[in-house]
Each structure stands twice: as C-alpha cells, then as structure tokens.
Structure 1
Amino acid sequence: SPAGNLLPRTRILTKNIIGTSIMRTVGRRMLSSTISIVGPKHIVFGNVERTLGLLVKETIKREKPLIVTDQYLAKKTNVVSIMIESLEKVGIKDVEIFTDTAKEPTTENVDRLVDKLLEKNTIDCILACGGGSVMDAAKAASVLAECTDKDLASYKAPYDMSGEVEKFPVIALPTTSGTGSEVTKFVVCTHSTTGEKMLCLGSAYVPRVALVDYELTLSVPAKLAAETGIDALCHSMEAMVSKKANWYSDACAKSALSAIGSHLRLACQGDRNGREAMSRAATMAGLAFGNASVTLIHGMSRPLGAHFHISHGLSNALLCPDITHFSLQAHRSGYSQVAQFLFPHDPTLEHLPTNLAQLNGQLGLPMLRQVLSHIKTQEFLDLIPRMAKEALASGSPANNPRLPSESDIAHLYRRIFLRGENNDAASWHSWQP
C-alpha cells in the first residue's frame, strides 16, 4: 500500500470509533441502530496554560513536541510562550517550533513540514496551533510522514486514508472559530503546481486530541471572526441537510446553530461571551459535518477560493444565500430548523436565503463582484466550466438535498458573480432570490 505503515481500516474501527454498522438511507436520513462516530479520542475545552503540558505528557505520553503555527501567532502574540510554559511545568523542555505555514496550505508547505518531522529523531508529536490552514497542514504532514508515497495528491478524495497515526500524533489548538479542523477527518490543501484545491479525507487525519481554549480567539479581528463564523454556520447547516446526516450529526449541528444564531454578531463585535460561545459552536459544527459531510456550498467554495485566492470562510459566505435558495425545497424540514435556530425573529422557511444574505451584510462582508473587482467579467465566465467540473468531482455536491448537475453549478457561479453588474450600489441588503 502507498500509505505505508498506517493501520488497516478494520483495526481503526475497533480502536478509535464508537460503534460500526452498515447504514441504510431512508428518505434523506441515514437510519440505523448504531452509527460510526469519527472524532478525536479526547476533546478538551479548557485553558492552554493549565492543560497542554498534561495532555502531552500524560494523555498521549510524548516528550518531544513540535509546535506548528504561523509567523503572526509566533511573533505578534504570546500564544507560543504560553504553550512552552505549560510544557515546562511538566518537565518538557525539548520543544521545537515550525512557522513555515501559509494563509492557505499548499503541498509545498506540507512537504517542508514532513521534512522537518523526519530530518532527525527529535520530534514525537505535533502541537498544531492556529486556524484551519495550520491544523490542516499539520494533519496532512503527520499522515504523509508515515506513508511510502509522500505525494499528497495520491491521496485526494475519494481515496480514504483509514488508520491511525502512530509516529506523530497531533494535538490541535484552534485560534479561530470556524473550520472545525481540530475534530475532523478532512484536510484541504492546494496543489502547488496545478492550483487544484484538493480534499483529502480519512480517519488517519483526525487529531488525537482537540484542545479548545476560547481565549486563543480573543485577538481575532472582526473581519476574520465574521468569515470563520459563517464557515461554522455553513458546516452546521450543510450537516443538517446532508444526505449522510444522522442523529448524532443533527444533535451537534443543532447545538452549533443555536449558539451561532445567538452569538455570532456579538463575537464579531469583540464580546468575550460571544467569542466563547462561537469557539464551542465551531467545534460542534466540526463534529456535525465530520460525521455527515458537507454539501454543495463547500463543493463550489473550494474551486472559487483556489482560482481567485479567496479565503475559505468568505467563499462560503459569497455562495451561501443563492445555494440555499437553490436547495431549499428539497429539504424543507431541515432548512426550517436551520431558520428557527439562526433567525428566531423571522423563522419563515422562504425567508432563509434572504436572511442569510442580510447577515452577510450586517457582518460587513462584501459581495463577489466587490471581491473580484480586479477581474474582468469574461475572465470569470471562462473559468466557470472548469470550476463546475472541479466542484462536482469533489463529491460534496452529491450530498446536497437537491442533486445539482454540472450545468446547475455553472449557472449558480454565473448568477452569483453577475449580481449587481449594472448597479454599483448593489449590496447584500438588496439581495433577492
């Protein structure tokens, strides 16, 4: 196997996952007496300084960690020093730091991290502290380091990387409230040569431990809090209506949606309670889509972000209202619950797409034409066929309650981009289905 030393699927199922069964689809729900729940062995909501050292020494029983983070967190915040202090309290002094990460992870970034892990026998675990990009890079590297074929493209979806990482287990510490990468089996990484935004999946990518400390998110600026917050919203909404949804993913999604509806706006205003609630909500949303998968929004978001270098959360926000309108009637009960949690003041099902657009406006997020004001119309239109193919090939659209064709996806890209073409004052507040 090109995956090398990773454990076979049968072993991981008995070792890491609660319950296994063959699922059957009834209507749009997956029903069975048991389900397979994928997630970290340990999810800890607590303070980094008091908790991290104990998790490394006693929970995963390692003593030579590599802190993987980004240059901003390493140079402009005290996060790394807090982590080191926590490790030193339990006698761990042999700590290395890796900051060669990118805003959006690429295969080159991952390859350099793999080289760091393997260059000498001085590392035995990874502490991934950052947003989704940092955590995804760390997750990918921890797996590739144990593979014979170290080309991440060999393992893009639908390849399922089953097994459990033994050499370099990951403790994930999110510093934003959106991606949920700290609890999922998914990695998103852009191929440095082709530009393709690849989805990689499998239980091997799940961090061993998720340590969620909302205080790590307190310095996040409002714009990033808005973008990552909408990412968490999409995760939970898509999980609710996914064809792979189940009672466990529903419970996690409802918990996340309730918190997002009550606290996203507050979090974007810097409110401490809002930041704490959104931190928990993002993790719950991660557990939701990690066990139900995402749908058309994420399927279309990846090509859009890859080709035009738009952040993942913003890409989701730009697509969310129109795709929700496209899908609404195919899962009225699921979207009705979403509306009730997010917009209790106006839970009318048919108003959900407009309310999502209004929320984008309230959070100060731009529309697609504003983001791509430097792109000529024909340049975008010429890319639509390729993006539509890539979106469909990702597999996520197959989970959508309304199954889209390639032409449906192309139409949605075109419609979203051309909104307000002849109206410079167009905004989310004037959005109409």
Structure 2
Amino acid sequence: MAIAVVLPATAVAAPCTGGADAALPGLTAPASPGPAQAPLRALVLRAQQRSADVQAARLSAEAAAADLDETRAGARPQAALSGMAGHTASRVSGVPEQSQQQASVSLNVSGLLYDGGRQEHLTAWRTRLAEAATLEADSLQEQVALEALMTALERHRYRLQAEVYGQYVSKMGCLAGALQEIVAVDRGRASELVQARKTQAQAQIAVDGVATQVRQIDERLRKLLGDVALPETDLSVPLYARPPLAAVVHGIDRGRELQQLERQAEAARDYARAVSAGRKPQLSWQLSRSATAGRERDSGAWQAGVSVNYPLYDGGANLAAASAALRRADAAERQREAVLATRQARARELHEAAGAALERARSYAEVLRDSDRVRDFTLEQWSQLGRRSLFDVMAAEGEYYNLQVAYINALYDAFSAHAQLRSLGQGLADWLAATPAP
C-alpha cells in the first residue's frame, strides 16, 4: 500500500508564502497627478534641448527669417558710394604726354517705383517659407518629445516586468530549497526538485532578457537626454486619461506638420505670382552725382531720371517657372490631404487600441485576484495536505506571475496609445504646458 507523504507546514508554506508582490500601477490615476508632471516636463524639455535635429531645424528657421529680411530690403531705396584715386596719363600724336594725379567719387541712389507687385509677392513667398521653417522645427520638437516619452514608458514597463520575474525566481528558489529538504528524507521526490530548479532557471532567463531590454533602453535614453540621472519615477500618471477622439481629430487639423504643408503651398503660389509679375514693366528712379579732382582742374556731373525695364521675350522661361511653382503648390496640398487622412485614421486606431488595452487591463486585474487565491490554496493543499502535485503549484505560480506581466503590458499599451493621441492632437508640449503644475 502506497503511503502518502504529507509535508510539515513549516517545510514549504512558511518560507514560500506571504512575500511582497511587485508594486503594480493601479487601474486609475492617483487623486493628484501633479508630482509626475514635473519630471515629465523636464524629460521632454531636456530631450528637445539636446536634439541636434531640432537645433539644425531652428538654425534653418533663423536662416529663412534672414532671407525674408533680405527680400524686404529689396523694396527700400539703395545707395552706393564709389571712389578712385591714382595717376592718369594721356598721349596724343604730336602733343607732349600729359599726366596728373586725379581722384574721383560718385554717389548713386535708386529706388523702386513700380514692379507689378513682384516685390510684394516675393516678400509674401519668403514670409511663408520662414513660417514653414519654424513649423518644421516645432514638428521636430514634437517628434523628439514623443520619442523621449515613449522610451521612458518602455523603460518603466520593462523595469516592472523585471521586478515581477525576479519575484518569480525567488518563489521558485524557495520551493526548490524546501524540496531540497524533502528529498533528503524522501528520494522519490527528486523529480519534483529537478522540475522546480528547471522552472527557476527559466524564470531567471526571463529576468536576464528583460534586464537586457532595460539596458538597451537606458542607452537610447542617454542618447536622448545625455549623461544625466535617468528618471526613476513613473511617468505614466498623467497618461491615465484617454483624450476624447473628437478633440484629437480637431487638433490634428491644427498640427504643426499640416500647417507647415499649408505654408509651403501658399509660398509656392506666392512665388508663382511673383514670377508672373516679372513679365510686367519695372520702373525705378535713379539719382547719381560724381566729382573729379585733378592737378589742373576739377569737374562734376549729376544725373536724375526714371528707368524702365520691360521684358519682351525670354523663350518661355517665365511661364515655365510660374507653372512649376503652381505644381509644387498643388503637390503640397495633396500631401497635406494625405497626411490629414493618415493621421485621422491613426487617431481612430489608437483610440480604439487604448480602450481595448484598458479593458484588457481591467480583465487581467480581476483574474489576478482569483489567480492569487488559487496559488495560495494550491500551495497550501500541496504542502500541508498532499492533495496537489508540484506541477499544480508551479502552474499556479507561473500563471500568477505571467498574468502580472500581461497586466503591465496591457496598461502600458494604453499609456503609450494615450501619449501618441496627445501628440497627434494638441501636441505633447502644449498639453504639458496646459496641465496645471502641482
């Protein structure tokens, strides 16, 4: 007759129960999310300040503003002063050579009277280009902010996973230690010890894999933030709330990238108008005064008048340039329509994905409560009553810790979707600026 070996309660239950679980984030945000907003703002600002792409875009915007100043200067009167001093000599057949020291100076002033609106359209063209360059820099800043935030969220996701898997390793180690004592008395339980050690090793592999992910993310964050202390606080607290889809879609139409494409289209049309105006007469006033001083005599002259330039034929170059500019404007408008449609579709997808992720997290939270009770009951029945096998215990433990990881992933999938929705709509920078500080 087989005799069931009943383990003493102190053999397994005492050392392998009652351990603290990972501090998992809740399903709802804390009452006051203020403390998490400051590090989130600091993270985004630091990444934007360090980004070489953003710095290059800002310099390009400054260059575009300087180009605008140059174009505006073309509408103002222009003045030029020139002079010459030196030795002159003249020789005529039959006349002795004559030479003398001579100096001359001349002043020329001119201004635009009429150009058919060409200068006005050129100024508008440069203005739109400068605005587009500034919007491009703002758009790059938003991309950098989103990248930094998403990377920080992934870091905290994997750190929580590492904590869960670490507890799984400890639990399996505790079971293996208890079984070591049991096997010393009952060699027939050796296979259970092998199974416990194998499960512990598998859990350790998961810990090592997650630790590798954390190190890789740390390197990405250092690239974004530099050699600064990486954020240890949970940055997800302000991201619990899912932004309304209507507000996101409304904000997309005012996004930097779409505004940039609008400015580019407007700039191309202004340039086409400027090119067309170049076929009209160009009138300018001119005033010049010159004076020459020599050893024998001084002389001077002045001139004032209006100059007219009327292009008659350029081989069709003007028409071709205007047509090319209009095509570029049409292309920018089509591109804007495509970007708008893509972003609106992406917003709907993210909004749906965020809702589904939150629902999964709620379901996992409910199952986790039952799973926690099941694993406690299973361990108790195995260790004290001998009614469950070790495989039942390990299955219950594995399910519990895997459910914790699934809960973490579902919740952080929602946080990531919320961050992307904020970026698509209002923009992270504007959203953080509008969020009240603690």
More helix by share: 2
Query: Same fold by TM (over 0.5)?
Result: no
TM-score norm. by structure 2 comes to 0.19
Higher RCO structure (Cα 8 Å, ≥6 apart): 2
TM-score norm. by structure 1 comes to 0.19
Bigger Rg over Cα: 2
